[in-house]
Amino acid sequence: MEKLKKNEESKALSINRRNFLKIGAATTAMGLIGAVKSSSQVAAAATDTLNYVPGRKSQNSKLHPEHNYGGASVRFVEHNDQWLGTTKIIGTIKNPNEADMGFNLAARGILGDQAKKGVNNFIAKHPFGSSISSGLMFIAGEEAVTGQPAKEKLPIPDPEQMSQHIKDAAYFLRADEVGIGRMPEFAYYSHKTTVPRTKMAAAPVEEWTVPFEEKHPYVIVVMVDQHLETTLASTGYDGISGAQSFKGYHATGNIAVILAQYIRNLGYNARAHHARNYGAVMPPAVIAAGLGELSRTGDSTIHPRMGFRHKVAAVTTDLPLEPDKPIDFGLQDFCRICGKCAENCPGEAITTDRDHVEFNGYLRWNSDMKKCAVFRTTNEEGSSCGRCMKVCPWNSKEDSWFHEAGLWIGSRGEMASSLLKNIDDMFGYGTETIDKYKWWLEWPELYKIQ
């Protein structure tokens, strides 16, 4: 009898893959309803029979066994205290205050009257951008991004297998790339804003910021393509620019909110971070999760295949996970040689310096995010701006073996980078507009600052 009882207990603790995936699908299907209204019953009812069987080691996920790097030669970088990916840390990095982000500086009146007027409408002035932006507001509240985890925790004997499963859940929810990193503590905001931008100029910063304290050891980053053909048809700062941006923000925001709720249903803490409710800045998270390197723009990361042509959201969590390694695909050498984003920036915000300079305890190209914010909020030729995305050789071409070969060349050092840049200029990549892909409506009368 005792032996029979032990066998039954053993069965209960062993993996039941079918039940595990049933629970995963059921929880995910709850979608935004589950995100806004916490439901721990699913996890609580299932933890008696859920566990893991390790899958094939070093597999990214079952749906996407390998990252799609688009032909680039990618090397992996070990985690250490001196570097974040290929970004060298040389001192103490100060956590940023959300109030000091570019658009918030504009809302506070620090970047001039025109930027202050434009910041509240620079996306919404285009009817399509306004539609997407308003959709993201439905998941902006704290009740959507965070909450209490279920009381009963799912045992996680194999963090690597759980990482694969979480990535599969994100790919199922239509992410284009997913990575998991050790969350850099300095990536969290020191303080978070508590009022909309329309009210930021009315009171001192101290009255509408609070310390951000919900911090976790791991970060899951979900990335969505802003759409290649639309990029090819756009100037980068016309009517569709803001909508392209918020298409990515909306998609990644929904994925992050659902993933965070799913993880809480499994009994672990999780907070979603998206464009309408960040608790952290995204570039360090992207680098830590192995999805990009810091670029010449200073504040943005480039993915080996999509370049700038992506938006991300994230989930920070204490769910036991196996972090990916940061990547090195030669971008620092390439950006040092290229400078195409600086040459074509309509706001003259991107530096033409050859080498990195010190900024807040690390080395980077120190572009002027204030100039960037001013142009994007005051642009009267369209909605916001994505010109650097448009012209960057890492994402300005249609998919083909020839262009994949070009990315391979560009990731092989300064001499090869110079060759790719010259070829890129010779063919006019990134500076042309391909009219056959233009599908959106332009409404120039709406682009003027009221």
- In this structure, are residues 370 and 102 in contact, taking their beta carbons and an 8 Å threshold? yes
Written as one letter, the residue type at 146 is T
C-alpha 17/C-alpha 121 separation (Å) is: 49
- List all residues 6 or more positions away from 66 whose beta carbon is below 8 Å from its beta carbon: 60
pLDDT tens profile 396-420: 777 777 778 878 888 888 888 888 8
- E runs forming strands in 244-317: 270-273, 293-294, 301-302, 310-317
SS (H, E, C) 389-440: HHHCCCCCCCCCHHHHHHHHHHCCCHHHHHHHHHHHHHHCCCCCCCHHHCCC
What DSSP line would sit under 120-153, residue for residue? TTTTTTSHHHHHHHHHHGGG-SHHHH--PPPSSP
Strand partners, 301: 294
pLDDT tens profile 209-225: 999 999 999 999 999 99
Confidence grade of residue 52 (pLDDT, cut at 50, 70, 90): low
For the chain, the first-to-last Cα distance in angstroms comes to 81
pLDDT tens profile 335-359: 999 999 999 999 999 999 999 999 9
Instruction: List phi, psi (to 5°) of 261.
Output: -65, -40
pLDDT tens profile 90-138: 999 999 999 999 999 999 999 999 999 999 999 999 999 999 999 999 9
C-alpha 318/C-alpha 297 separation (Å) is: 32
pTM comes to 0.87
Q: How many CA atoms lie within 13 A of 431 on its CB side?
A: 13
Structure tokens that stand for 339 in this block: 């400078």
C-alpha 111/C-alpha 109 separation (Å) is: 6
Written as one letter, the residue type at 432 is E
